[in-house]
A and B are shown apart, each in its own frame.
Chain A
Amino acid sequence: MRAVQHFTATAVICLCAVLGAALPASAQIKIGSVLSVTGPASFLGDPEKKTLEIYVDEINAKGGVNGQKLQLIVYDDAGNPNNARTFATRLVEEDKIDAMVGGSTTGATLAMIPVFEDAKIPFISLAGAIQIIEPVRKWVFKTPHTDKMACEKIFADLKQRNLTTIAMISGTDAFGKSMRDQCVAAAPKAGIKIATEESYGPRDSDMTPQLTKIHNTAGVQAVVNPGFGQGPAIVTRNYRQLGITLPLYESHGVASKEYIKLAGPAAEGVRLPAAALLIADKLPSSDPQKPIVVNYTHTYQQKTGQAVSTFGGHAYDGLMILVQAMQRAKSADKAKVRDEIEKSKSYIGTGGIVNMSPTDHLGLDLSAFHMLEIKGGDWTLVPGT
C-alpha cells in the first residue's frame, strides 16, 4: 500500500517537473550583467546593480519593451576578471541572454569581451578605460567617459588658469593607473608639464610623505589626483593638513557627495570634471540633460536612500541605450539591436548626449563633462565649462 503511495507521489512530481520544463518560459528579453558588487570595486558595482534593478522594474511596470518583459540576470564578479569571464560564459551558454550591460572594471570587461564577441551578443560596458572601444570592436560599446577625456578636461581648465606645471599623485589601482597613463600621454599636446609623480595604495591611510615630496618640488603650480574610492578623500585631507594651497584637481571617479562629506572642509576649492548628473538641481532649465538627471537623482535617492553616484548613472545610460535600440529595432534580435545601438543619435543621458557611429562606440565628447568646484560644501559649476 505504502509502496503504491510512494510511487504515485514520485510519478506526480516527475510529471510536474516535466510539464514545468516543457512549458515555454514566458517570452522575456534577457539582459545579463556581470558587476563588481563586492570586492575592491564595489564602489562602482553596487550603485550599478541598484540602478539596473530599479529601472528594469520600472520598464516592466510600464509594459516592457516591444510588448515583452525584461528579465535581468546579475552576477557578482567580486572584482576578479577570472570570475567575470566565468559568469560571462554562464550568461551566454546557460542563461542565453539577448544582450549584456555590465563590466564594472576594465579588467573584467577585457576578460569578457572575447566571450561576447564570439557569441555575437551586444555588450555595453560600464568601465572607464579607452582600450575598451579603441580599437573599435563590432559588438562592444561603453557609456562612461574615458579617462582620456577627463584628463583633457582638466588640462583645458589648467590652461585657462595659466597653470602649466603640475604634479600627479595617483592610486595604484586600475582606475588610477589608467587615468594617470592617459594624462601623461595627453599632457604634451595640452602644453602641460608634469614635474613629478607619486602614487599610493587604494587602501592606504596616510599620504603625507608623497604630498610632502610634491610640496617640496620647485615649480609645481597644481596637483592632479587620479584615483577613486576613499584614497582621494584622504589625499585631500592630508593636502590641507600639510597646508598646501596649490589648486587640487580630483578625478571624475570621485564625483559623489560622499567625497565632500569625507574630505570635509579640506575639499573647499577642489575642482573635478563631472557629468551633469552631479549638479542636477543646479543646471539651467534650458539644459537638455536636466529633466533626465533630476529624474534619475530623485528616483535613485528615493528607492535606495543613498546619494546618487556617477557610476549608477552610467548603468542607467547603458540600459536606456539598449532598450531604445531594441525599440527601434522592434525586436531583440542580437544583430539588429547591435546595429541600432551603433546608430544611437542624440540620446540624452546622465553622462551627456550620446551620438554613436561605426567608428565611435562611446559617442560622448568633451562637452559631456562639466568642470565643477566645491564651494561651501557643495558642487558649483565653473562658469563657461
Chain B
Amino acid sequence: MAELLQFAFSGLTVGAIYALVALGFTLIYNASDIINFAQGEFVMLGGMTTVFMAMAGIPLPLAALIAIAVTTGVGLALHRFAIEPARGASPVALIMITIGASVFLRGVAQIVFDKRFHSLPPLFGADPIQFGGAAILPQSLVVLAGAAVIVILLWLFVERTLLGKAVIATAANRLAARLIGVDTRRIVDFSFAVSAAIGAIAGILITPIALTSYDVGTLLALKGFAAAMLGGIGSPLGAVVGGLLIGMIEALCAGYLSSSYKDAAAFLIILVVLVAMPQGLFGLVKVERV
C-alpha cells in the first residue's frame, strides 16, 4: 500500500510538472490556433534566468520577478517579430516558425548562460513530508498548487472578464471579433505574453525538483504538448488532467511494469485515447463547416 502511494506521489510530482507546461500551450492555442513549440524554452528561460540573476547576487524573489518579466518580453517579441509578420501562413509554416524560434532561443541561451545543470532552493525546505509510509517533497505540492491556481485564474479570466471574452471571441472567429471592435493583434500579443509568464513561473517552480539547463525545453515541450493534446487542446482543465495522467502512467509503469518503457506506456495510452476520443478528454467536438 505504501508502495502504491509512493508511486502515486511520484506520478503527481512529475504530472504536475507536465501540467504546468501544458497550460502554457492552451492560452496561445485558444487565441490563435497556433501550437507554440517554443513554450518549453519559456520554461527554461524562467528557471535559468532566475538562477543566473541569483548567482549575480540578486535576492531570489526579485530574481524570479525579473525572470518572469524577461520571459514575458521574449514571448511578446516572439509574437511581434516572428508570428505576426507571418500571419496568413499555413499552420505548418507557423509551427515551423515556433520550432525555429525554439532552436534560436536554445542557441542564445547556451551563449548567455552556460551548458551546466543548475538548481534553485525549494520554497519550503527539502525535507520530505511523510504520509502513509510514503514521502513527498513539499515542492511537489507547490507545483501542484501552482497549476491549480493558474487553472482557476485562467477560468476566472475567461468567464468573468471582458478581456477574457475577447480572447475567446478571437479564437472562435478572428474576423468577427475584429468586426465587433476587438483589437485582435493586442489579444494575441496578450496571450503570448501570459503564456510566456506561465512558462516562466512553471520553470521557477519546477527547477528545485527537476533541475534546469539550457536544453530542458525540448523534452518538457514534448511532454507538455502531449499532455495538452491528451486533455483536449484549448482546455486548461484538460491540460492539467492530461499532465497528471501522463505523470501517473509513467510512475505506475515504472513501478509495476518496466522502468525502461515508462515513456512508451504514456504515449501508447495517448494513442489509444485519441483513437477512441479524437478530440482528447475535455476537448470540444469541432464542428466542421463544409
Contact = CB atoms under 8 A, between A and B. Distances in A.
Interface string B118-131: 11000000101000
A206 B208 CA distance: 12
B43 to A, nearest CB: 12
Nearest to A213: B255
Contacts of B27: none
Contacts of B14: 204-206
A39 to B, nearest CB: 8
Contacts of B206: 205
Interface stretch (B4-12, B71-79, B188-196, B234-242): B4-12
Contacts of B213: 230
A209 B117 contact: no
A261 B117 CA distance: 10
B259 A209 contact: yes
Nearest to B247: A206
Nearest to B208: A237
Contacts of B110: 38, 42
Contact of B6 (A204, A212, A258): A212
A242 interface: yes
A209 B116 contact: no
Contacts of B254: 198, 200, 209-210
A209 B7 contact: yes
Secondary structure dominating the interface of B = helix
A43 interface: yes
Contact of B117 (A38, A39, A262): A262
A233 B135 contact: no
Contacts of B251: 206, 208-209
B198 interface: no
A262 B51 CA distance: 13
Nearest to B110: A38
Contact of B219 (A203, A213, A243): A203
B216 interface: yes
Nearest to B206: A205
A205 B143 CA distance: 13
Contacts of B262: 201
B28 interface: no
A199 interface: yes
Interface in B1-44: 3, 6-7, 9-10, 13-14, 17
Most buried by B among A200, A206, A212: A206
Interface string A178-198: 000000000000000000001
Interface residues of B, number: 35
B211 A233 contact: yes
B178 interface: no
Contact of A241 (B17, B118, B135, B263): B135
B274 interface: no
Interface in A206-253: 206, 208-210, 212-213, 216, 229-230, 233-234, 237, 241-243
B165 interface: no
B210 interface: yes
A40 to B, nearest CB: 8
B171 interface: no
A198 B115 CA distance: 28
A312 to B, nearest CB: 12
B137 interface: yes
A302 interface: no
B260 interface: yes
Nearest to B114: A306
Nearest to A208: B10
Contacts of A265: 126
A133 B79 CA distance: 52
A228 B6 CA distance: 25
Contacts of A40: 215
Contacts of A209: 6-7, 10, 251-252, 254-255, 259
A328 to B, nearest CB: 36
Interface in B86-118: 110, 114-118
A43 B116 contact: yes
A243 B130 CA distance: 10
Contact of B260 (A172, A241, A242, A262): A172
A46 interface: yes
Interface of B: 3, 6-7, 9-10, 13-14, 17, 110, 114-119, 126, 128, 135, 137, 206, 209-211, 213, 215-216, 219, 251-252, 254-255, 259-260, 262-263
27 contacts: A38-B215, A40-B215, A43-B115, A43-B116, A43-B117, A172-B260, A198-B259, A200-B254, A201-B262, A203-B219, A205-B206, A205-B209, A205-B210, A206-B13, A206-B210, A208-B9, A208-B251, A209-B10, A210-B254, A212-B6, A212-B255, A213-B3, A216-B3, A230-B211, A237-B126, A241-B135, A306-B116
